[in-house]
Structure 1
Amino acid sequence: MVMEPARILVVGGGYVGMYTALRLQRKLRGGEAEVVVATPDPYMTYQPFLPEAAAGSISPRHVVVPLRRLLNGCELVLGDVTSIDHATRTAYISTSVTEETGKPPVEITYDELILAPGSVSRTLPVPGLAEHGVGFKTMQEAIGLRNHVIEQMDIASSTRDPAVRDAALTFVFVGGGYAGVEALGELEDMARYASRYYHNIEPGDMKWILVEASDRILPEVGSELGQYTVRELRRRNVDVRLKTRLDTCEDRVATLDDGSRFPTRTVVWTAGVKPHPLLAATDLPLDGRGRLRCTARLAVEGVSHAWAAGDAAAVPDLTADTPGRECAPNAQHAVRQARALADNVLAALRGEEPTDYVYRHAGSVASLGLHKGVAHVYGRKIKGYPAWFMHRAYHLSRVPTVNRKARVLSEWILAAFFKREIVSLGSLEHPRAEFELAAGEDHLKNPKESP
């Protein structure tokens, strides 16, 4: 009797999903198992490079990795996994076709489940945020924000209304973690450079405001480097507001809980993340923060044939000095957990014993703009250009595929000899707008004519 190959369903195409599927693809024996990857996008975004893509230092297409090319031994299903019934080992996937036709979600059965849907932005019920705010987790948001900043400079340069000009040149960032600090640092650097090409805009005309609810920023790099980052940003005339919250941003006015009011057309929300909503639509055990409860072997606690890692999983940190601590939801752990996860799934398929995931966090690096950064690596605290160089070197070594490494490196080298691009291509976000306008005008002129 010929045994059917096991089906491994990987939910998510981010760090954990892509690296797990890639390792399985390389290590599976012929006919041993088939790997199905369900993800909403046909690419993986290397998120640490989003700030540089927003600043124009890296081309957007070099920050994403095409999954079909990399995972050519896996089956790729594009769509959103809406729910999972692990009791029957069935996942339900909403694709573009099912949404257009109104048909029920596609059902995929599996033998082993790997859950890695990642996280989503954690928002608060701030009045006006949904209407005027923008996040910073996807390539679309990063490039859209770059276009928006340059467009605001164009508006400020063209208007004679001082109120409109002031609002256009005021940029409010909420959240003092990696995403907020790096995005603000890179965009402020880019905008300051771009201002030299505007005859009536000086760097001092722009207001950059960073709002953080806690008493420090970049907690990952430690208190000393966090304080250095605050001083560095303030030296660049960035208004850093600690122990402060955004109360409202209605009517394009950002109001803080200290009473400050800033008319602005730009509110960037980077105040943390939360587990993907899919986790609540499963029959798997969750912790108090909505993440999957996992063992040190990256198996979902108390459940067989279910595995998880990354932002979606609460994994015990076996290297922690205090018991009960969990692995931080960062890229360092995600990449290494993916490898351990793939090996443990293979071990389970082959009747072998899975192993515990053990990794001691090496440190953190952060960019504050061109030639500026902070790093806390193996206990050493590094500032300025050396930290910025270390940030680039580390992430260049971690971005997937030799193809992407070469393209990113070549762009950095070329950038050392040529000027930055400061063109806004916001029209790319609405490619049919001009055609719709032309077609609408023709219809009004000749309503009875048809092609």
Structure 2
Amino acid sequence: MYTALRLQRRLKHELRRAREGGGGVQVTVLAPDPYMTYQPFLPEAAAGSISPRHVVVPLRRVLPHCRIVIGEAKSIDHARRTATVETLATEHAGTGPVEVPYDELVLAPGSVSRALPVPGLAENGIGFKTVEEAIGLRNHVLEQLDIASSTRDPAVRDAALTFVFVGGGYAGVEALAELEDMARYACRYYHNIRPRDMKWLLVEATGRILPEVGEAMGRYAVRELRGRNVDVRLETRLDSCENRVAQLSDGSRHPCRTLVWTAGVKPHPLLERTDLPLDGRGRLRCTATLRVEGTEHAWSAGDAAAVPDLAAEKSRTRGAGEGPPPKCAPNAQHAVRQARLLADNLVASLRGREPSEYEHSYAGSVASLGLHKGVAHVYGRRLKGYPAWFLHRVYHLSRVPTVNRKARILAEWTLAGLFKREIVSLGSMEHPRAEFELAAGTGRHPEGP
């Protein structure tokens, strides 16, 4: 989206000529959803601090001069410069995918959750990468409080009040911290549930969490979470979660009805269905100009691209380091900047100019640990508590696309400071036709006599 937005601005005259039928340039954006999700706000959307519709940016609104196609690329034959695409229209018509030709390819499908072959994970695990998963997890957590409040079976109650999160990176820690905050607040409205009755468990295979904020801030985050009665298990793996029982590598067993999997990501499977060069981790091999290595007319950025980290390479050269050249980390800080330079380089290529190389020194990281709590390591300075949390909000508010979204999110934060949290579960939204189907099948309202 950022690349298309930049192209829309840089090529506005060519795009206008194309719309008027006089030749020019057409930018086609193929995406599985009609919106872009700003993922750093997913934990707050799950906790109810932000409305889910405000963490997504509608593509048709911000890209009015581009052609938006909702669908999925099944494969790409760059030698023929064609993409095999299945759109909503072809899927519903049953006609199968169609071939779409192109002149220049920008391949940025991002990453998907990396699921390991853990018994029971596919049946019982919950992901946390999309806005739909964030909404579903919020509804699920509140539903568990309802189950625990209404059951007389101690085993069912304990399992409903046990929440297991696997993965100590940004997604896992921020999601757990925000949802624990929300659930602890919600307990005041249940006559028979206290915050101490809940069991929150964070499982991390390495010896630290939040490695991006540095070792000292990672240790602080562990102390902060443990101080809130969160059981942080380092150097521990999930061995099984069959029958809704989380079995860990330390031998402990935890019956639970909530298991959230945030243990890393992997490149999008689409990359394997192309004829473009990949590195050992399955990412596209790219040059510092964001061109796909050894090819013409193909570009990439973000999680799917293995781009040389020139800033890190210079630092390593000064330190006389050895080993393969470092690559840019697959995070939003690099991806957004790469996307804009990619658009500039593509325009330069079309106009016969030399492209520029991508170089960005890592600025640092910020992470939220719930309302008014956070950690940060920015430009060598460490922050914790309220200052880090405030910096987290300011930074991401400045980065979320469009003034419209910035204003709406700021208004929601302001209102959240004046009024109480919303703790309503709308789980029925996930199956909106269930009640009507039941009524139509039985000939009477399901709640009738």
Into which bin does the TM-score normalised by the smaller protein fall?
over 0.9
Partner of 1:307: 299
Q: Deviations over 1:111-146 (max 9, x none)?
A: 000000000000001111111101000000001000
Partner of 1:129: 121
Partner of 1:71: 63
Partner of 1:232: 224
Partner of 2:180: 188
Q: Distance in 2 between matches of 1:332 and 1:274?
A: 18
Partner of 2:320: none
Q: Distance in 1 between matches of 2:233 and 2:82?
A: 48
% identical aligned pairs = 77
Alpha-carbon spacing, 1:377–1:438, altered in 2? closer, same or farther (3 Å): same
Letter in 2 for 1:358: E
Which of 38, 46, 57 aligns to 1:54? It is 46
Letter in 1 for 2:178: E
Q: Distance in 1 between matches of 2:268 and 2:397?
A: 28
Partner of 2:6: 23
Cα distance, 1:106 vs structure 2: 2.0
Cα distance, 1:442 vs structure 2: 1.7
Partner of 1:105: 97
Bigger Cα displacement from structure 2, 267-276 vs 325-334? 325-334
Kindly tell me the number of residue pairs found equivalent between the two proteins.
Answer: 427
TM-score (norm 1): 0.94
SS of the residue corresponding to residue 201 of structure 2 reads strand
Partner of 1:6: none
Partner of 1:338: 339
Partner of 1:328: 329
Cα distance, 1:101 vs structure 2: 3.1
Letter in 1 for 2:100: I
Do residues 159 (structure 1) and 151 (structure 2) align?
yes
Q: Distance in 1 between matches of 2:98 and 2:389?
A: 46
Which of 19, 23, 40 aligns to 2:32? It is 40
Cα distance, 1:103 vs structure 2: 1.4
Q: Distance in 1 between matches of 2:91 and 2:119?
A: 30
Partner of 1:286: 278
In structure 1, the gaps of 5 or more residues are: 1-17, 445-451
Partner of 1:15: none
Do residues 371 (structure 1) and 354 (structure 2) align?
no
Q: Deviations over 1:283-339 (max 9, x none)?
A: 000000000000000000000000000000000000002360111111111111011
Q: Deviations over 1:389-448 (max 9, x none)?
A: 00000000000000000000000001111000000000000000000100110299xxxx
Partner of 2:209: 217
Q: Distance in 1 between matches of 2:177 and 2:79?
A: 47
SS of the residue corresponding to residue 107 of structure 1 reads strand
SS of the residue corresponding to residue 191 of structure 2 reads coil
SS of the residue corresponding to residue 408 of structure 2 reads helix
SS of the residue corresponding to residue 143 of structure 1 reads helix
Q: Deviations over 1:91-116 (max 9, x none)?
A: 01112232233312121111000000
Q: Deviations over 1:211-258 (max 9, x none)?
A: 000010000001000000000000000000000000111101000011
Q: CA RMSD in A?
A: 1.0
Q: Distance in 1 between matches of 2:25 and 2:291?
A: 19
SS of the residue corresponding to residue 79 of structure 1 reads strand
Do residues 90 (structure 1) and 114 (structure 2) align?
no
SS of the residue corresponding to residue 418 of structure 2 reads coil
Letter in 2 for 1:421: E
Partner of 1:171: 163
Q: Distance in 2 between matches of 1:262 and 1:50?
A: 26
Structure-to-structure mapping, 1:199-210, within 5 angstroms = 199-210=191-202
Which of 289, 296, 307 aligns to 1:297? It is 289
In structure 2, the gaps of 5 or more residues are: 18-23, 317-323
